[in-house]
Amino acid sequence: MNTVTLILLLAAFVAFLLAAINANVPRVNLIGLGLALLVLTELIPVFQKM
């Protein structure tokens, strides 16, 4: 596992945790952020093989 991928997975986990505890973060959709980070972790290995 790549270091960047691991950091993105941890950031997605933190975003989902903050969404689960209903943190009041102004103008940020935490579930959308977590999903975007998860998708990015799947795309990074694909682009590294190119």
Question: HEC string of the chain?
Answer: CCHHHHHHHHHHHHHHHHHHCCCCCCCCCHHHHHHHHHHHHHHHHHHHCC
Single pTM value for the model: 0.86
Q: Where are the domains of the chain?
A: 6-33
Which one, of 31, 27, 28, 29, lies nearest residue 16 by Cα?
31
pLDDT for the residue numbered 32: 95
Asked if 30 and 19 touch (Cβ cutoff 8 Å), the reply is yes
Residue type, 18: L
What is the C-alpha separation between 13 and 35, in angstroms, rounded?
10
pLDDT by residue (tens digit) across 7-44? 999 999 999 999 999 988 888 999 999 999 999 999 99
